[in-house]
Structure 1
C-alpha cells in the first residue's frame, strides 16, 4: 500500500435497497472485515447478520477489484424483554468480531445490548444417501421391510452455507454492551458496558471474570462511563478502554486481577480558549482502535481523530479535525441530539492512513505521512463501478465555490458511523444508513 493521500478512490459497489423509505430494522449498525479480508460482515438494527464474500474473480483479476457477494444471512438476535426491570432489549447488533480461522469453518462473535453469541459459519456441498433405517425424505423405515443392508454413499449437492449458534454468553452485563474484543491468544475475549469490563473464555459460557469496574458505591457520584474497549493486537495481557471524559486507560492484567488501577492514562489537557458548555460532551471518546502494529492507537471524539503513541501519555502525536466547521453549530446539534452520535474510526492495513465518518454521508481519509486528507461522499448517484470519487469541500460562510457545499445544507440525518478497511488492500466498506458502499483505490 502506497501513501494513501495520493490514492484516488473509486466506487466499487453498493449493497442494500435504494428506496427512500428505509425501515429502522434495515439500518446497518456495524461493519467488520475478517482477518484475510475475504469476508465482510454487517449487523443491523433488526438483529440480522449479513456476510459478504469476496468474489474470487475480482480478487485475482488484473487490475484486481474489490467486489463482494452475499454469502450468508442469518438472524443473530431477537427482541427480548427483561421482566425484572420492565425493559425491552433491542435486537440491534452492536458489534461483530471475527475469530482467526483454524479450520474450514468461520467463527464470529456478535452482540446486542445484553447477550453475546458465538456463530459458526460452515459450508456443505455433500450429502449422505442410502441410510438403512430411514428413507431419503427422512421418514423412518419399517424394520420388518429392511431385507438387505445398504452402504451409505456421499453425493455432491448444491453448496449450502449454514450459520449455527455454538455458544451463548448471557446474564453478565447490567448495562448496555458497547464493545467486544477478541484477545490475541484467540481463547479469551472481553465485553464492555458503561461501567464494567468482563473477560470471557470462548469455551465457558456460564461465567466471566470482571476485570474493570468503575461503578461508584453511590450512583449519584457517577461522573464517567466506559465508551469503548479493545485488546492489544499482540500482547494478550494489555487492553485499553476509553471514557466519556475523554481519557484512555491502558491496563495490564499481569499487575492485578482487577484492573481498576490503570498502568497508563492518555489524556490531552483541554485548551481553555475552546472551553464551552459543550466541551465535556464533545470530548467524550466514541471509539478507540489500536494500530495493527500495536505501537499506536487512534481515538475518535466528536470533532476529531487523535493518534497516540503507547509510549507517550501526555498528548497525542497527531490530531486530525474531522468536521471543524461544526464547532459553530454545536447548539443546534445538541438540540437535535446529533452531538451524542458515536462515530467509529479505523486504521488502514499498514497503519499509514485513518478513516472515519461524518454527516451528509461524508467520510474522511487521513494520510499520516503526507498529512493530506480527503472528504469523500457515499452517494447513490455513482452507481457505475470504477467511477472516481470527487473530493468534497464544505464552506462555512461567504461566497460558495462551484464544487463546495454550504455547512447549512448538510444533511444530519445521513451519517456515516461505521467504516471498515480491508486488512491488506485499499478496499473500504462504508455503512450509510441501510446501504453498504464499497470503494477501492484506482490502480
Structure 2
C-alpha cells in the first residue's frame, strides 16, 4: 500500500464522519472502556465546538476535516480548518501574515490542523492502530495538495507531538519549536513530597503563597462529573467572559459550549471554584486525560493575593497527585510558573508555504528561533526551583 492508492476526502462537518469512525482513529484506547489519552481530539470535544457555534460560520474557523480511506474504510483523519485570521491558535504567525501581505500576497484563508482554542500537545494525525505511518503520510500529503490546489498561502499544524514533527519534516514541512511550562510528577506521594524536591527558598515561598491564597476568607472546592451543577457553570461563564474580553477582545467559546461539556464530558472535567460570602468569586477549568491534567481557563470576580496561583497551579498539582497523573499542562506562556514547579517543555508545530521565496525566509527564521528556544529552555531549567544536590536542607 502507498499514499497514492489512498482516497483523500474533506468533510465540512464532523458529523459526516461520526463518533465511531472518528474515535477509532483519535482514541482507540477507549474501545475497552479506558479514558482517552487526549480529551481534546475526541469526537465529543471537537463536535461540541461545532455544535455550540464556537467554530464554524462567522468564527474564522471553518471545519474542513481531512480523512484518508482505503477501500472505503477510514484509516486516518485530522481536524482541519480553513482560517480567516490567526486568533485562537497560540502559535503566533501574525508577523508572517503582515510580511506576506506587504509583499502583495494574500495570507488568508490558510489551512490549520489543530484543536481550536486549545494549546495542548497531542496527536494531530489521528490513525487507526496499524496505519500510523501510511495514515500520517496520506494526511500530510493530502493537506498539502489541498493547500496547493486551492492556491492558499499556507498549511499549519499546531501543538503536534515531537514524533509527528520529525515525521512531517522528512516530508518537507518546516518545524517550529516553542515552549510551555509543565509540571511533572516524579512519583511524589503527596504535595509535601513535591515540595521536598524544591530548594528551601522556593519551598517556603510556595507554602507562604498557599497560606495567603487559602486565607482569602472563603472556601475552595473541586467538582467533577455529576457534582457539577448549573450554578457552577453560570458562575464560571462570567469568569471566562471577563478573562476572554480582557485577553482576546471577544471570548472564543460560546455559552452553549459549556452546557455541552456538562452533557458530554463532565467526567473529563475538574472544575475548581472559590466561594466567599455565599457566592462564587473565582474558578479554574481543567480537563482530565489518561496521563495528564490540562488547565484551560481561569477567571475571577474578585482579586485576592495568590488566589490565581492556588486555583490554577497548586490545586492542579493536588488533583494530578490524587489521580496518579504524570503531568500538568497549565496552558500557554507564563514564566511565573517556573517558580511554582512548572518546568520549560518544548512544544512543536509544522508549517508549509506555497510560495518558495516566502518558505525560504520563514525557514531561516525558524532555524534561528529554534536555537533561541533551546537556549532559553536550558537557562530556565538551570534556574528552576528544584534542589541541585540531594542533601537534607534546613528549613
TM-score by shorter chain over 0.5: no
Q: Which protein, 1 or 2, shows the higher relative CO under an 8 Å CA cutoff with sep ≥ 6?
A: 2
Q: What TM-score, normalized to structure 2?
A: 0.23
Which has the larger helix fraction? 2
